[in-house]
Chain A
Amino acid sequence: MTDQASAELKFRDPSRARELTRALAHVVRSLGRAPVSVMHVCGSHEQAIAKFGLRAAFPRELDVIMGPGCPVCITDVPEVDEAVVLAKQGVRIATYGDMLRVPGTVESLADTRAKGARVDVVYSVAHAVELARQSTDDVVFFASGFETTAVATAAVLLRDPPSNFSVLSAHKYIPPVMEIVAEMPETRVEGFLAAGHAATITGWGIFEPFVERHRLPVVVAGFEPLDILAGLVSLVDVIREGVPRVVNAYPRCVTREGNRAAQEKLWSVFRPVGGRWRGIAHVPNGNLRLKDEWGHFDARKRFDIDLSSLWDHAPATLTQECICGDIMAGISSPSDCRLFGIECVPEKPVGACMVSSEGTCKIWHQYGGHPDRMGVLA
């Protein structure tokens, strides 16, 4: 990045930035202990924090951890395997670009495509539907993403897609995994920073049951450096007060109710079911699957997907050393990984966190490996 561009962005309101940085240091230090650990669950938040060197502006006592906020990264190996098996069976697969290189047990979709399978990268599920319309062959959309993205998948199913279109859902639902992180015995997380644009759809009220159950605060924040600083000030302030609640630090975009029409579409097509998130845990209600009445568009019901045909092959040994799961659970950071930046690099990723532009490892690798040690512009 150019110094000028970052300076302009960071200091569009320099006095406000100074004020927030001071306020953050003050509120963190008023707790009188260290570290104070908070977690965000959004790849765009981590990108902004790393890109603008915000960790260097945080007080030393504050630890801001990226949790399981990368939908590509938490797509489980058997989910990738299902898509790989379908592609090997000759079914045409359409999926978002980041999904291509996510490792399965034996191979990724990119590997399968290199051997001649038909795998299309689409930007939108709407394009996958168009591919199906232009053909008589079956087109399976391998769907990844959190609830915000699942809304788009729901919307196309509600618009009468062609009968040769179906969905292999690897969609995930964020609130249940926050519960898992909160319940992990080794967790240090004292509060969550929630992603502003996802809350545009879900509303901030979605976090109230979580706060009630786990007595941990949640603050909804935007993506500009100043939004993130303001969100963190608010979050640590609620931790200091000791009365956990949801705070909307992004009121220009987010309401309590959110986008009701979008939520209705989401829940008319999907239901939450338990399932594994790669490397983390079984997450009750963490997976979004098509409801039974949408079974005719469910690739798992339409096709016989025989995973055992893949599983005779042993996984590569390097993959077993990958600590992506611990990183996404907030227990470890990329610098704790023996493979990070050595055997595992963006050009040759071992784990999913190095594949996606929203993965912690890829973000840290891009922005210098140790974002907390990056210099900030004074």
Chain B
Amino acid sequence: MCLGVPGRIVEIHGFAATVDFFGVRRTVRLDVVDEPVSAGDYILNHVGFAIRRIPEEEIGETLALYEQLLREAESDIMAADVRGEIEAGRKDTGGSE
């Protein structure tokens, strides 16, 4: 989906990073991110790849949309897409269904 999901980089290992998405930790590749990132930075994730570093001044505004969506009912498809992006590939499930 186009929307992507924002997350905070916990730790960088080579060309991948452990990223925290609203409490769920996942590995995200850094191959195509638009500028250098370090731990603590927020990135926008699309299919397991960071596509953009979110500038500090935009973090609050960006997270607000997702925090609202995550309060929605399970059946809401926009919220379900966001949850799917967060849950799919979480580290403790081994990365795929």
The residues of A with any CB-CB pair to B shorter than 8 Å are 1-2, 5, 8-9, 12, 42-45, 47-48, 51, 69, 94, 96-97, 120-127, 130-131, 145, 148-149, 151-152, 155, 158-159, 195-198, 200-201, 223-224, 252-253, 259, 261-262, 265, 357-358, 362-363, 366
Contacts and interface: CB of A to CB of B under 8 A. Distances in A.
Contact of B51 (A5, A47, A130, A200): A200
A366 B48 contact: no
Interface residues of B, number: 38
Contact of B48 (A127, A158, A195, A362): A127
Contacts of A357: 1, 77-78, 80-81
Contacts of B51: 148, 151, 197, 200-201, 259, 262
A262 B32 contact: yes
Given A123-B89, A357-B77, A223 B31 contact: no
Given A9-B68, A151-B49, A262 B96 contact: no
A142 to B, nearest CB: 14
Contact of A123 (B48, B64, B73): B48
A358 B29 CA distance: 24
A203 to B, nearest CB: 10
Contacts of A9: 64-65, 68
A71 to B, nearest CB: 9
Could you say which of B27, B76, B80 has the most chain A C-beta atoms within 10 Å of its C-beta? Answer: B76
Nearest to B57: A252
Given A120-B97, A124-B95, 16 more contacts: A43-B2, A45-B2, A94-B96, A122-B89, A122-B96, A122-B97, A124-B89, A152-B47, A152-B48, A155-B31, A158-B31, A197-B4, A201-B32, A265-B32, A358-B2, A358-B81
Contacts of B64: 9, 12
A2 B79 CA distance: 12
B40 to A, nearest CB: 20
Contacts of A195: 2
B55 to A, nearest CB: 8
Contact of A155 (B32, B55, B78): B32
B58 interface: yes
B77 A362 contact: yes
Interface string B54-75: 0100100000110010011101
A1 B31 contact: no
Given A51-B76, A155-B49, A259-B32, A2 B71 contact: yes
Contacts of B55: 252
Contact of B65 (A121, A151, A155, A224): A224
B46 A44 contact: no
B95 A122 contact: yes
A200 B46 CA distance: 12
A130 B47 CA distance: 15
Nearest to A365: B77
A126 B29 contact: yes
Given A51-B76, A259-B32, A357-B80, A124 B2 contact: no
